[in-house]
Amino acid sequence: MPKISVEVPQELLDDLDEHVGDGGKFVNRSEAVRASIRKTLDLLDEIDARQGRLDQHGQAVDAGTTEEDDGN
C-alpha cells in the first residue's frame, strides 16, 4: 500500500485522535484517515450522481457529452 504524507492542523488532529485507540472507533490514525477518505469519496460520488455527472456505471461523464453520444 502506498504511503502519503499530509500536514494537518493540530485542532483537526486532536479531533481525529478522540476517535482513535482504546474506546475509539479506529485502531490507529491510518485507519481513521482511510475511512474518512472513503466516506468523502462516497459522498462526492452521490453528489455527482444527483447532478448527472456520473454515467450508469458510476464513471465521470465528460463535459459536453451525454450517454446518448457514446452509444449507451
Q: State the residue range of the domain holding 59.
A: 18-63
User: Is the confidence at residue 56, as pLDDT, over 60?
Assistant: yes
Residue-level length of the chain: 72
Residue 31 to residue 36: CA distance in whole angstroms:
9
Is residue 8 assigned to a domain?
no
Q: What's residue 69's pLDDT?
A: 52
Who contacts 35 (Cβ-Cβ below 8 Å, separation ≥6)?
Answer: 26
> With bands split at pLDDT 50, 70 and 90, how would you rate the model's confidence at 32?
very high
Please give the tally of structural domains in the chain.
1
Is residue 23 assigned to a domain?
yes
Ramachandran angles phi, psi of 60, nearest 5°: -60, 135
C-alpha cell at 72: 449507451
Distance of CA 26 to the CA centre of its chain: 17
Is residue 51 assigned to a domain?
yes
Site of grid cell 481525529? 16
